[in-house]
């Protein structure tokens, strides 16, 4: 009996020593620290007659992320964190939005000025060649940029934004796209600001954040950030002026013979840049018909369809979006 107790006692001591040794060995090892998300730097550049606010992180070749309506630089926070690991990642507030200048004249929101904003911003940051990634209205501007200035771009990435030639065709010939684009006529109307800002921007919250808040793609901090951006004096009008300046939308039956082309004035609609188009197929505003015949305008084209993605697929599938972009542009 005494021998059994003695053996048990020895085993307990040895087990304790083993645990202490193991713990001390682990504590003594260099611990792998979790990578902290980068701190975004916020700055301003005076370019093309406006003052553009932008967020940036990282060093190296420039990769610029351009938001659509009704977002702002914050749309790209996940991409800034990812691509700042080996690039200078930059996300501006486009003119009219959030902390950037908001010209009073509607004509100052024509695509030709928006294109020049991006070109001048890139040069002011010390880059004459860069990668351009864009969504929605930012994508419309990016298409026009690539057509006008292919020499500036290494690669182009478009997310749920129609090519101007294809979209003009869809608005002219596709009844489903015509119906889906009726909201553009409201956005161009004088009542748009009142409708969208009522009840603390309830309509915009529902459109942009509603499902994401339910599914966990957005949180209350995100909601607060968007409300703050929309509440900047003149910001809502600035974003709506993109629609007004381009007069983009479906036929109204009031003498408009041809839907507006937001890249009007350019000699060609051919994109001479390697291009990746990512498309959430459940987008109810911009339908998948916008992918049909796209290769006619974009010879070097890659398309990635996301069957369950909506117009807000950047927020719904950030890791997948980042992976597609990484695969396309290559790692450093």
Active site residue 311: yes
C-alpha–C-alpha distance, residues 145 and 111, integer Å: 9
Given the residues 53, 87, 163, 311, the one annotated as active site: 311
Contact between residue 68 and residue 137 where contact means Cβ atoms under 8 Å apart: yes
Walk across the sheet containing 153-159 and list its strands: 41-47, 50-57, 88-92, 62-66, 130-135, 153-159, 275-280, 301-306
List Cβ neighbours of 64 (8 Å cut-off, separation of 6 or more): 90, 91, 92, 118, 121, 122, 130, 131, 132, 133
DSSP codes, 72-121: -GGGGHHHHHHHTTTSEEEEEPPTTSTTS---SSGGGGSHHHHHHHHHHH
Given the residues 74, 136, 201, 242, the one annotated as active site: 136
- For residue 121 the two structure tokens come to 């911003």
Given the residues 109, 242, 243, 324, the one annotated as active site: 243
Report the largest interatomic distance among the alpha carbons of the chain, rounded to a whole angstrom.
107
**Measured between alpha carbons, how far is residue 77 from residues 69, 81, 85, 308 in Å?**
16, 6, 13, 22
Active site residue 136: yes
C-alpha–C-alpha distance, residues 54 and 51, integer Å: 10
Residue 45 falls in which region: left (phi positive, over 0), alpha (psi -120 to 50) or beta: beta
Task: Just list the catalytic residues.
Answer: 136, 243, 311
């Amino acid at each position: 009996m005494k021998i059994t107790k003695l053996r048990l006692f020895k085993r307990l001591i040895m087990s304790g020593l083993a645990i202490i040794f193991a713990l001390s060995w682990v504590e003594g090892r260099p611990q792998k620290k979790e990578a902290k998300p980068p701190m975004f730097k916020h700055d301003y550049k005076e370019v093309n007659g406006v003052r553009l606010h932008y967020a940036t992180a990282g060093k190296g070749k420039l990769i610029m992320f351009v938001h659509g309506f009704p977002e702002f630089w914050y749309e790209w926070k996940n991409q800034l964190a990812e691509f700042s690991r080996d690039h200078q990642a930059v996300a501006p507030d486009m003119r009219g939005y959030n902390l950037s200048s908001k010209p009073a004249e509607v004509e100052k929101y024509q695509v030709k000025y928006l294109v020049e904003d991006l070109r001048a911003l890139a040069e002011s940051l010390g880059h004459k060649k860069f990668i351009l990634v864009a969504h929605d209205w930012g994508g419309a501007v990016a298409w026009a940029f690539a057509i006008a200035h292919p020499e500036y771009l290494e690669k182009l990435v478009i997310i749920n934004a129609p090519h101007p030639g294809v979209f003009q065709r869809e608005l002219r010939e596709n009844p489903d796209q015509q119906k889906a684009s009726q909201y553009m006529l409201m956005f161009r109307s004088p009542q748009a600001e009142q409708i969208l800002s009522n009840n603390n921007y309830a309509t915009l919250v529902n459109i942009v954040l509603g499902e994401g808040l339910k599914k966990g793609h957005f949180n209350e901090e995100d909601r607060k950030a968007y409300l703050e951006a929309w509440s900047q004096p003149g910001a809502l009008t600035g974003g709506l002026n993109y629609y007004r300046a381009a007069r983009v939308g479906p036929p109204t039956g009031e003498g408009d013979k041809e839907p507006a082309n937001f890249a009007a004035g350019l000699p060609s609609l051919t994109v001479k840049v390697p291009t990746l188009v990512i498309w959430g197929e459940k987008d109810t505003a911009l339908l998948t018909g916008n992918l049909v015949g796209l290769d006619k305008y974009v010879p070097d084209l890659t398309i990635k369809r996301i069957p369950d993605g909506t117009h807000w697929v950047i927020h719904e599938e950030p890791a997948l979006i980042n992976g597609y972009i990484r695969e396309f542009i290559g790692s450093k």
